Structure 1
Amino acid sequence: MSLDLPDIGFGTSGAKGHDCADATRTALDAGYRFVDTAQMYDNEPAVGAGLRLSDVDSEGRSPSGSRTQSGDREDVVLASKILPDNLGYEDAKRTSYESLDRLGVDAVDLLYVHWPTGAYDPEESLRALQELHDEGVARNVGVSNFTPELLDEAREILDADIAAHQVECHPLFPQDELRAYAAEHGHTVVGYCPLGQGEIFDTPEIQEVAERHDTTAAAVCIAWAVEKEALVPIPQSTDPEHIRANVEATELDLTEEDVATIDGIDEERRLIDPDGAAWNQ
């Protein structure tokens, strides 16, 4: 893998303001080392504030505005995504620099094309992404909500390696094809909605495994993801107890029987399915 991601990331979709900043700080202090935001979420300033408030900040600013050096910020992977409407060449460049200002950092560790929709044009959008990488705005580049065909196209256009592909992924939507593609081409699938928005917790197979381990369905979903090759889940929560429980679930050891039980679920359910998504074209 071109970018070594931790076993779990912290998703911030839907979180805003002080709640987002507090949740980001809680997540980092609980042990998360991968934080995911996006221009679309309208919370980059809050995520940046949470990073500076946490015990791992090493890129905060002193009252005079100069950089400070404390903690282990270099261990944190900070990711953001370019809004689909901003994917024209000029807008992609401009707004990505603005994202750095909003986050209060000199660079993001991972910058994605959020959806291949809106102003997305493969040649122009990916040229901008490549230049942002070359200019040091993004240490690594990724894409989100792509199909295998679009991944092939992006790999041909980009000089930089695709480090990650972010898509919906959970036990009822395991993304077997895209995970196999990621393993073959050396990038990571970053799975959003890894808890199936709670709608999959009552699935009998998940309940069965949870009962075996005397744990929760949420913990089982995260542990299942951790067991999978080239997959990193990014659950979202602003509840401190849930935030800590999710990271603790990475320590849950599922047996081969447990994984086989979950993999045997005879149901598929995609939860995020906009009409304009690439797979609906």
Structure 2
Amino acid sequence: MGKSQSSLCKVGEKTLTGEANKKDKEIEVPSKRFIAFFIGGAADKKSYYGQGPTELVNYARLSFVYKMESLGFDQSDLRSKLTHHIGYDDAKGEEDIKSSILNKIEDKDNTYIYLIGHSLGAWNAAHLSSYLMSEGYKVEYLVTLDPVGEGVLVGMFSDIYWGKPEPKYAEKNWINIRAEFTSGDLDVSDKVADFGEQWNVISGPNINETINIHHANADLMFSTALSGGRSALDFISANISKKVKVKNIADEKCNDEKRPNIEF
């Protein structure tokens, strides 16, 4: 299991009134952390006109939890603090954003945010990324899984943003996946996506691919290898491993050769 992301490390010496009062001084070393929001579409987190909840994007969240646990992160933290399953309507409106997202971010300046949205949730996640960045938060990665929201009717009956999103995120860190099932008959989810009108993303993502899959299969979209051999899940987990240290800094050997002395 992994260890806490925050830590204390002994650094140098401090002198108070003379040699007899020399002691090691403990200072807090700010540590980077991450948080991932999995944003579901219609009938995912909550019922939608009598349908659901289906929790489709939550299966993608669980795949992420298992992956990060295998890399050493604590499963309890992953399930309770580091990942959150929310509805598309939770990602719109200041009060909803505050209660569902901002209140879960403990350290704004040192937290990387990962947004993974599906269907209407992908549409709102793209808009949300722009809002968060404008408020000084760090959106490290955006993943949109078959985003839907172009249709006028779905906009009238769903709590989504009007107008095409203009996402903001760390450079080259947007993956968009479009679902187009071509191996047989369309299922209900494909027809619903057609009704809501898929967002035809032309430019912006550094990875922008279409795969042969039903619209409802959010987890498979997230975990299926793309043309380069890696999945969206692989890209995100690798990015987090570079940005956030699993090992507690207090467990590392700190010595005066590597750390400057601090005297008072």
Q: Do the two structures share a fold, i.e. TM-score over 0.5?
A: no
- The structure where strand makes up a greater share of residues is 2
Structure having the larger proportion of residues in helix: 1
Q: Which has the higher contact order (CA 8 A, sep 6+)?
A: 2
TM-score of the superposition, structure 2-length normalised? 0.31
